[in-house]
C-alpha cells in the first residue's frame, strides 16, 4: 500500500471526516492496515494500549469477562466506527476486551506516535480530541439508554 492511498482511505473514514490535508499528512505516518479473523482479539483488558482502530468492515464485540458468567458484550462496533481510547490517558492500558465477531478489516493508528505529534502540533491535538470526545459522548448517551432498561417489565 502506498502512503498516498492510505491518505485517501483515512480521509474517507467518518472519524477523520473534514480533517485538513496537512493534518492528514501528519497522521498518515502512524497508520497501518490490519485484518482480524473471527474470534481474534483486537485488544485485551489490562494490556498496554498503544493502538486505536478505525474499523472499515466487520463487527467487533467490546466485552467484559465476568467471573462465573463469561464474556458479556457491552457494545458492538461496526464499519465506520472508532475503537479504543485508552491510549489517550495514562496508564495507557485497555479497559475492555475487543473481539472480532467476523472478518474485520481496520486501520490501526500508533497511539504513542500520535501522542508525540499532538504535543508538537496542538491544533492536530485539538482536532483529534474533539473527534474522540464526540465518540465518547455518543457512547455514554447510548450506555445510559441501555442502563434505563426501557424494555424491562417495570
Interaction site with other proteins (CB under 8 A): 59, 61, 69-76, 78, 80, 101, 142, 145-146, 148-154
Give rounded-to-5 percent helix, strand, coil for the chain.
Answer: 40, 30, 30
- Based on CB atoms, which residue is closest to other proteins, 33 or 76? 76
Contact assessment for residue 60 and residue 77, using Cβ atoms and an 8 Å cutoff: yes
- Based on CB atoms, which residue is closest to other proteins, 4 or 69? 69
End-to-end CA distance of the chain: 54
- Based on CB atoms, which residue is closest to other proteins, 116 or 146? 146
Residue 142 Cβ vs other proteins, minimum distance, rounded to whole Å: 5
- Based on CB atoms, which residue is closest to other proteins, 50 or 97? 97
Residue 129 Cβ vs other proteins, minimum distance, rounded to whole Å: 22
d(C-alpha 131, C-alpha 113), whole Å? 18
Reference 117, options 7, 15, 27, 25; nearest CA is 27
d(C-alpha 55, C-alpha 57), whole Å? 6
Residue 51 Cβ vs other proteins, minimum distance, rounded to whole Å: 22
- The string of DSSP codes covering 47-89 is SB--EEEEEEESEEEEEEEETTTEEEEEEEEETT-EE--GGGS
Residue 70 Cβ vs other proteins, minimum distance, rounded to whole Å: 5
- Based on CB atoms, which residue is closest to other proteins, 29 or 38? 38
Residue 90 Cβ vs other proteins, minimum distance, rounded to whole Å: 28
Amino acid at each position: 500500500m502506498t502512503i498516498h492511498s492510505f491518505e485517501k482511505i483515512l480521509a474517507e473514514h467518518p472519524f477523520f471526516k473534514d480533517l485538513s490535508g496537512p493534518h492528514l499528512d501528519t497522521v498518515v505516518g502512524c497508520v497501518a492496515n490490519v485484518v482480524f479473523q473471527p474470534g481474534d482479539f483486537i485488544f485485551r483488558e489490562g494490556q498496554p494500549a498503544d493502538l486505536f482502530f478505525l474499523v472499515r468492515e466487520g463487527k467487533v464485540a467490546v466485552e467484559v469477562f465476568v467471573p462465573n458468567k463469561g464474556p458479556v458484550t457491552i457494545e458492538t462496533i461496526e464499519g465506520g466506527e472508532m475503537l479504543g481510547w485508552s491510549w489517550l490517558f495514562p496508564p495507557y492500558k485497555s479497559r475492555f476486551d475487543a473481539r472480532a465477531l467476523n472478518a474485520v478489516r481496520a486501520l490501526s493508528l500508533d497511539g504513542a506516535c500520535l501522542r508525540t505529534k499532538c504535543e508538537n502540533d496542538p491544533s492536530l491535538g485539538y482536532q483529534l480530541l474533539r473527534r474522540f470526545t464526540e465518540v465518547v459522548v455518543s457512547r455514554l448517551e447510548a450506555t445510559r439508554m441501555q442502563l434505563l432498561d426501557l424494555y424491562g417489565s417495570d
